[in-house]
Chains A and B, each alone.
Chain A
Amino acid sequence: DAGVIQSPRHEVTEMGQEVTLRCKPISGHDYLFWYRQTMMRGLELLIYFNNNVPIDDSGMPEDRFSAKMPNASFSTLKIQPSEPRDSAVYFCANSGNTGELFFGEGSRLTVL
């Protein structure tokens, strides 16, 4: 298994543009998480899914953020419109029965 795959690895965009981050999870892992990491705030949980169903989105900062998981092999995190304060590394992570989190390599977003 290739692990959790995220794209793009890096994105630089201008304020006001739409950003879509993608995640392909590990097959058979029921939980999928979206985290955001910054120097100031560390790792923050944005939203997580269980069996493709959003369970807790209380970490999503604003209505500008939305996440979907249309099937077990794909999830997206969308920011529309983006703002400079959204600049961060966004991680997608998977978990199975053991509770261990397997992270993707992250998407480094810079909003100018």
Chain B
Amino acid sequence: RKEVEQDPGPFNVPEGATVAFNCTYSNSASQSFFWYRQDCRKEPKLLMSVYSSGNEDGRFTAQLNRASQYISLLIRDSKLSDSATYLCVVPAEGGGADGLTFGKGTHLIIQP
């Protein structure tokens, strides 16, 4: 299994719909995880951190399934401004920023 694997998409979703995508990881020792958002021709920015079983922030919910080694990102009531690439980030066992592995990202397009 690749270290961090994501479906590249694109996911084409109508505005207002709910969309979810997963990220699988190979390092079973990883404790915390992150979702970064990257807009077209921009830099990645932290969207959410995922500890223990999951995290919720407004319309965004991130969940962690340790047994199956995947994390998911769910977006409810999607907005046009949610169109971006979502990068799954998995740290090494130590958990610091020095051991992060980025997935290649899932491209999301919200359509009016």
Contact = CB atoms under 8 A, between A and B. Distances in A.
B is bound to A: yes
Interface of A: 31, 33, 41-43, 45, 48, 50, 55-56, 91, 95, 99-101, 103-106
A55 B36 CA distance: 24
B95 A103 contact: no
10 contacts: A33-B97, A42-B105, A43-B44, A48-B98, A50-B98, A91-B44, A95-B97, A99-B32, A99-B97, A105-B42
Report, as a range, how many residues of chain B touch the other chain.
20 to 34
Contacts of A91: 43-44
B46 interface: yes
Contacts of B97: 31, 33, 95, 99-101
Interface of B: 32, 34, 36, 42-46, 49, 87, 91, 95-98, 100, 102-105
A45 to B, nearest CB: 7
Contacts, number: 44
A105 to B, nearest CB: 5
Contacts of B49: 100
A56 B98 contact: yes
A33 B10 CA distance: 29
Contacts of A42: 102-105
Nearest to A55: B98
Contact of A100 (B43, B46, B102): B46
A50 B103 CA distance: 24
A42 to B, nearest CB: 4
A56 B32 CA distance: 22
Nearest to B46: A100
B21 to A, nearest CB: 16
A59 to B, nearest CB: 11
B91 A99 contact: yes
A55 B44 CA distance: 23
B19 to A, nearest CB: 21
